[in-house]
With several copies, the nearest count.
Chain A
Amino acid sequence: MEPVLWALKTDKVKAALKEEKRLDDRALDAYRDIEVSNEVSKNAEGSARVRLGKTDVIAGVKMILGTPYPDSPGEGTISVGAELHPMAFSEYEFGPPKPDAIEVSRVVDRCIRESKTLNFKDLCIKEGEQIWICFIDLYPLNDDGNLFDAFSIAGLAALIDTKIPKIEDDKIVKGEYSGKLKLARQPLLSTFAKIGNTVVLDPTMVEQKAQDARFSVATTDDNYLCAFQKGGFGGFTGAEIDSCIDIATKASKMVRKKL
């Protein structure tokens, strides 16, 4: 879409928000409809497809054998990657990961890693020698805004779906599994767009284009905050941050029911 057309559309978003209205008639603190399904790929140890309104993403988990880092010989690890595939939006391009893709994958990574959702000691097979590396890869199929939350939901759903391959003689036995991956908690991101002086949950693409700043907060099912990420050119007041935290805590409970 041309910049000029985006400008017309974002003007509409801003005009509506002055009356606390969104173009799709959602409440300011409401998510779009969410659908979660698994079975995206049999070759994956776990996978999920998430539709968040018209935003559509997939996540897949591969459990790969590796050797531990010297400074944590008894721990496996995770790796989160996101590719902003040009299939999903006309402004994306192939090539080495750009800052946008790096940011979202690192935020989803921290949301899972630092919430201690996975016990990295469980991912150690043989201390100092063999561990699991849990690769979580994220792709958009259609981006209509808020990839942060869509990726976060899909990543968690894929982890919930993940089976651990069976091992014999230090090698993976293809197609056989020794059980499910254990998750200690369920962290989820909730992302807000600040447009003028209004803050809305789960922005669409046009709301994203209209936004001055972005704020994401990750909450867990046991009521912890586990990640923040502020982005965009504008700033937030402390009160706005607190309000985002409140809304995120409630909204993520609704999302978790879909998993």
Chain B
Amino acid sequence: MAKKDEKIDYVKNGKRVDGRKVEELRPLTIEVGVIDNADGSAYLEWGQNKVIVAVYGPRELLPKHKQDPRKAIVNFQYRMATFSVPDRKNPRPARREIEISKVCSEALQRAVFAERFPNTVIDVFVQILDSNAGSRAAGLSAASVALADAGIPMRDLVASTGVGKAGGEIILDLNKFEEDAPDAVDIPIAIMPRTEEIVLLQMDGLLTTKEWKKCLELGVKGCKQVYEVQRAALQKKYDAAGAVKGKEKKKEEKAAKKEKVK
């Protein structure tokens, strides 16, 4: 805290305070298929962030009046464990958690072929076990892997990272120390890497248009690094695309069957 008054070099000789380069992510690992009861799941560690995600669905959405006859609803629910932050978090969902759940639900909705599963919900439960800046990007990146693990057909994975400014420097994947810089700007961004379509974008802080352009470029690069880790994790579990496709097909057959019954 006292450090706020000193002049800190957030990047010195090309290195950041934690030794990373400007365009370098914190260490990132993803493991697929970690929750036995779930239809799909993933566990992700990203720096100090630890996230676990379970996907249930598509399953019938109840009560019925919430159903959409044209598509499945992606219900991303982001929650922090009480002990995942320096001060204990109240167990009731905070306004921040509700907002994050909303924008991430919308980001994933774009990626999923939701129209194939009318009247259903795809529940994506995201639990933050430990955190240190960037937990929503962590949760969202893990979630799209868990959706793939559940065999939900998708246009593309959604890859997300933070990007922003600290001490005047545009850097990728800010950690908590960088996020606390007096001039810090934090920008969570998520894209579908194949098309670079932006499906999540938030920002706060003071930024020039020029700085933003650098952030966008760097953010897209970062998302693509995340994408590689996501694909490797899925690859590791499934013998390439074969297994995924099989599951996907199963889901669709299930959906088709349901329709016939009606």
Contacts and interface: CB of A to CB of B under 8 A. Distances in A.
Query: Do A and B touch, yes or no (CB under 8 Å, in the complex)?
Result: yes
Interface of A: 40-45, 47, 54, 56, 58, 60-62, 64, 71, 81, 83, 85-90, 94, 97, 99-100, 102-103, 105-106, 110-111, 113-116, 135, 137, 139, 141-144, 174, 215, 220, 223-238, 241-242, 245, 249
26 contacts: A42-B130, A42-B132, A43-B84, A43-B85, A54-B36, A64-B88, A103-B102, A111-B204, A114-B204, A114-B206, A115-B206, A135-B83, A137-B91, A139-B81, A141-B34, A224-B208, A225-B206, A225-B209, A227-B204, A229-B202, A230-B202, A231-B106, A234-B110, A237-B197, A238-B198, A245-B212
Given A64-B88, A100-B102, 7 more contacts: A41-B84, A47-B83, A62-B88, A135-B83, A141-B127, A230-B199, A238-B216
Contact of B110 (A99, A100, A135, A235): A235
Nearest to A113: B204
A215 B201 contact: yes
Interface of B: 1, 34-38, 48, 50, 52-54, 56, 59, 77, 79, 81-88, 91, 93, 95-96, 98-99, 101-103, 106, 109-110, 123, 125, 127, 129-132, 187, 191-192, 195-209, 212-213, 216, 220
Contacts of A61: 83
Interface of B is mostly: mixed
A146 to B, nearest CB: 14
Given A233-B109, A235-B197, A87 B54 contact: yes
A88 B77 contact: no
Nearest to B131: A43
Contacts of A54: 36
Contacts of A223: 208-209
A227 B204 CA distance: 4
Nearest to A217: B203
Contact of A238 (B85, B129, B207, B220): B220
Contact of B37 (A40, A100, A142): A142
Contacts of A116: 206
